[in-house]
Amino acid sequence: MRLKHYDHDGRARFITFCTHKRLPILENSDLCTIVQEQLFDICRTECVDILAFVIMPDHLHAVFVPPVTMKLGLFVGEFKRQTAKTILARLREVRPQSVPELEVMRDGTVKYAVWQRRCFDRNCRSEDEVWQAVEYCHFNPVARGLVADPADWKWSSYNWYADE
């Protein structure tokens, strides 16, 4: 069964996408920098507002407000394509032994997958739901035991709000 996606309504969207096989690919600072920079670049280019994000070792959460004319799935697909290409090239340089873990067979050809094919998204139907999603992003590293304080997680938008 295909899930229904509700585009073109101007609402904030809480989205999660995971690395291939939930591998902790993003525990490397260089790769987190790539993901963060490319996230900001594509949001700026496509006029997508980003209200919150967190980059975790095996997934990324974000709260976006896309333009009403945009299909968010196409935006996410393009982001995943761009980051996968850059991450794979970087892994081949610094951790070539990890590249075989990313091999997948598609259409009889060996390819490489950095991200899972699907993502999870939810429309935030109220301002309260938006702030719940923002807080979920920011406190995810604490819940996973990576830091005691969300301000200590470098790969998050938490300090955008804390510094106000």
pLDDT tens, N- to C-terminus, the chain (164 residues): 554 556 656 789 999 999 999 999 999 899 999 999 999 999 999 999 999 999 999 999 999 999 988 888 889 999 999 999 999 999 999 888 989 999 999 889 999 999 998 888 888 889 999 999 999 999 999 999 999 999 999 999 999 988 65
Parse the chain into domains and list their residue ranges.
13-162
Q: Which CATH number fits domain 13-162: 3.40.50.150, 3.30.70.1290, 3.90.1150.10, 1.10.10.10?
A: 3.30.70.1290
pLDDT at 134: 96
Burial (CB < 10 A; 0-12, 13-18, 19+), residue 132, is middle
Identify the pLDDT of residue 95. 87
- Which residue in this structure is represented by tokens 């993003």? 26
Q: Which residues contact 51 (CB under 8 A, 6 or more apart)?
A: 12, 63, 64, 65, 130, 133, 134, 157
